[in-house]
Amino acid sequence: MLIEKSACLSPTLQGFTRGGTYLDSGFHYAGSIGQDGLLPELLRRLGVGDALNGAVCIPDTVDRVRFCDPAFEFSFPQGWEKLTRALCTRFPADADGVANFLTDMKTMWGQSRGAFVRDMGQGTGTFFAGPMCSLQEAIDRCTQDQVLRALLSCHGILYGALARETSFLFHSQIVGSYFESAGFIRGGGRIWVEIFKDALSRAGVDVLCGRAVRCINLDDRHDFASVELDEGDRLAARKCICTAHPKHMLEMLPPDTFTPAYRRRIGGLEETPSAVVLFGRCRPDGFAGNLILATEPGTVQNWGKIPLEDRPLFIGVSPEGESRGVSVICPATLADLPGSGNGCKRPQEYCEWKARVADRLVQRVLRCAGDVVGDFELLDVATPLTFRDHLSSPQGGLYGVKHRLADMPLLPRTAVRGLYLSGQAVVAPGVLGAMCAGFLTESCIV
């Protein structure tokens, strides 16, 4: 049985419609999606290898980066060789450093990918072991050029961490998949949900939506026994896989379940940033892809120190539709907000702040990226409160737990026999990260 607190299955990926335009809420594009990529391989292992036939779109370029001061733009070509040539040509003085950086990155991505292709996650030593230097240290060895440094670190916006707090290994495991082959899914995140629903149905899995797990019960030996739902129903089982935020898992268990050290470790996990997200649409004949927009290169790694409306933006434009859906993601935290409230009840101060920030962001997008979004029309706005309240994220984080250099990686098996962790907290964020976590968790179940 799959128990989902939300009223619908997979609320992060479902997306929604405004004014007749479908808008992706949690999926923009995928990495390692080429014919020989890790994503198709995992789908084949799951028995749904044909599920994306005809839906995958792999353009020559997906990501573009634009700095306004000084004016600079770069498009990331698909594939390691093309990317290396393009960066070395653009930055000839740092060609050796760029080549070494990308070679190391490709090697670490290949080792991690191989752990899943060969052993479906059972060889966790390969996946988590590696040169544990920070991404910032690796970039420093490569170049002192501020523009190039920003280019090599800007994809941190895809996993919610800065170069100084992220290991080069983790960055390679995430961004390496995009450098290998990145693409879109026609139909967006809702296609993943339909694949998931169909697979669950064929596997005979019961799906219970709109019900929250209130607590996890243990037996006399402190092994997993059952879950208790919000209305008091108890569901007994031999095993339980928890994909909620690990801090929520602690709240559902008796206080003495884990050692004080483990509780401190889970309680001390840092959340990835949240965001203010503009959802809108633009003309159907414009740019399709992603644009990372920053006022100047230095703001890519120091966005927390500048006003919200001046921070780097991730602008994603869907590849199809009579009116294309647009997502504009601006990093933010709950600390940026003037008020909170619960559910749909928000204080007036917050509502005014939200409207003011949205207007300023729209004006900036039109001024700095008007050629990309054209006649951008705002349809809806989300803030850190939206993600906190509707996705059960403690701080509204977009990518769950932050995978910091200083933290030991979380593993699926817990001290409670029969209770396992999975989801974005275990391996990495995104669809591919969650799928890898699923395989890794399965390999640990006894």
In DSSP notation, 305-356 reads GS-GGGS-EEEEE-S-SSSEEEEEEEEE-GGG-S---BTTB--HHHHHHHHH
Task: Write down the pLDDT at residue 194.
Answer: 93
Looking at every residue in the chain, the average pLDDT score rounds to 90
Same domain, 244 and 326: no
Distance (Å, rounded) from C-alpha 147 to C-alpha 296?
A: 9
Q: Which of 362, 383, 398 is the last residue of a domain?
A: 398
Beta pairing, strands 224-229 & 213-218: antiparallel
**Residue 66, beta-bridge partner list:** 73, 293
CA distances from 149 to 49, 97, 200, 296, 313 (A): 38, 11, 44, 12, 17
- Which pLDDT score, from 0 to 100, does residue 340 have? 59
* 3-class DSSP assignment, residue 281: strand
Q: Do 385 and 421 lie in a common domain?
A: no
Q: With respect to residue 137, please indicate whether it lies within any of the assigned structural domains.
A: no
Q: Are 312 and 299 part of one and the same domain?
A: yes
The burial class, CB within 10 Å (0-12 / 13-18 / 19+), for 232 is: exposed
Q: How far apart are the first and last CA of the chain?
A: 18
> Look-up: residue for tokens 């988590």?
128
Q: Does one domain contain both 231 and 282?
A: no
As given in the structure block, the two tokens for residue 281 are: 């649409």
Write down which residue in 398, 419, 435 finishes a domain: 398
User: C-alpha 300: how far from its chain's center?
Assistant: 18
Domain that holds residue 331: 273-398
Please name the helix (run of DSSP H) or strand (run of DSSP E) that holds residue 378, with its range, or none: strand 377-382
Check residue 392 and give its pLDDT: 82
pLDDT digits (tens, 9 = 90+) for 361-415: 999 999 999 988 888 999 999 999 999 988 888 889 999 889 888 887 788 999 9
Please work out, in degrees rounded to the nearest 5, the angle formed at the alpha carbon of residue 38 by the alpha carbons of 167 and 166. 10
Closest CA to 13 of 273, 197, 192, 274: 192
Q: Is residue 112 part of a domain?
A: no
Same domain, 384 and 438: no
Which helix (H) or strand (E) is 224 found in, with range?
Answer: strand 224-229
Do 254 and 311 fall within a single domain? Answer: no
CB under 8 Å to 53, separation ≥6 — which residues? none
Peptide bond into 70 cis (omega under 30): yes
Q: What percent of the chain has pLDDT over 70?
A: 95
Indicate yes or no: pTM above 0.75: yes
Closest CA to 352 of 335, 331, 337: 337
Residues 358 and 416 grouped into a single domain: no
pLDDT per residue as tens digits for the range 310-367: 999 999 998 876 578 999 999 999 999 986 555 557 888 999 999 999 999 999 999 9
C-alpha distances in angstroms, 241 versus 3, 24, 256? 10, 27, 20
The answer to whether residue 389 sits within a structural domain is yes
pLDDT at site 322: 59
Position 157: which residue type? I
How would you classify the pairing of strands 419-421 and 377-382?
A: unpaired
Q: Is residue 434 part of a domain?
A: yes
Same domain, residue pair 392 and 280: yes
**Residues with pLDDT less than 70, the chain:** 119-131, 286, 321-322, 339-344
* Residues 340 and 408 placed together within one structural domain of the fold: no
- Number of other residues whose CB lies within 10 A of the CB of residue 335: 8
What is the pLDDT, as a whole number, of residue 18? 93
Q: Is residue 235 part of a domain?
A: yes
40 lies in some domain:
no
Cα–Cα distance measured from residue 176 to residue 417, given in angstroms and rounded to the nearest whole number: 35
CA distance 354 to 186: 31
Same domain, yes or no: 282 and 328: yes
Radius of gyration of the chain (CA): 22
Residue ranges of alpha helices (H) inside 213-338 are 246-252, 260-267
Name the helix (H) or strand (E) containing 221. Answer: none
> Residues 396, 424, 219, CA angle at the centre, nearest 5°?
100
Assigned domain for 423 exists? yes
Q: Considering only CA atoms, which of 54, 137, 407, 108 is closest in space to residue 246?
A: 407
Co-location of 247 and 300 in the same domain: no
Q: pLDDT at position 345, please?
A: 73
Residue 119 has a pLDDT of 67
Which residues are CB-neighbours of 191 under 8 A, at least 6 positions away?
52, 55, 185
Helix (H) or strand (E) holding 22: strand 21-23
Q: Residue 120 has what pLDDT?
A: 61
Q: How many domains, the chain?
A: 2
Residue 363 belongs to a domain: yes
List the structure tokens of 323: 């009116």
CB-CB contact of 417 with 257 (8 Å): no
| Tokens representing residue 43 in the block | 């789908």
Could you say which DSSP state residue 259 is in? -
Q: What pLDDT is recorded for position 285?
A: 73
Instruction: Give the pair of three-digit tokens for residue 411.
Output: 């593993």
Query: Same structural domain for residues 282 and 249?
Result: no
CB 237 within 8 A of CB 243: no
Backbone angles phi, psi at 280, to 5 degrees: -155, -165
Can you give the CATH number for the domain in which 257 is found?
3.50.50.60
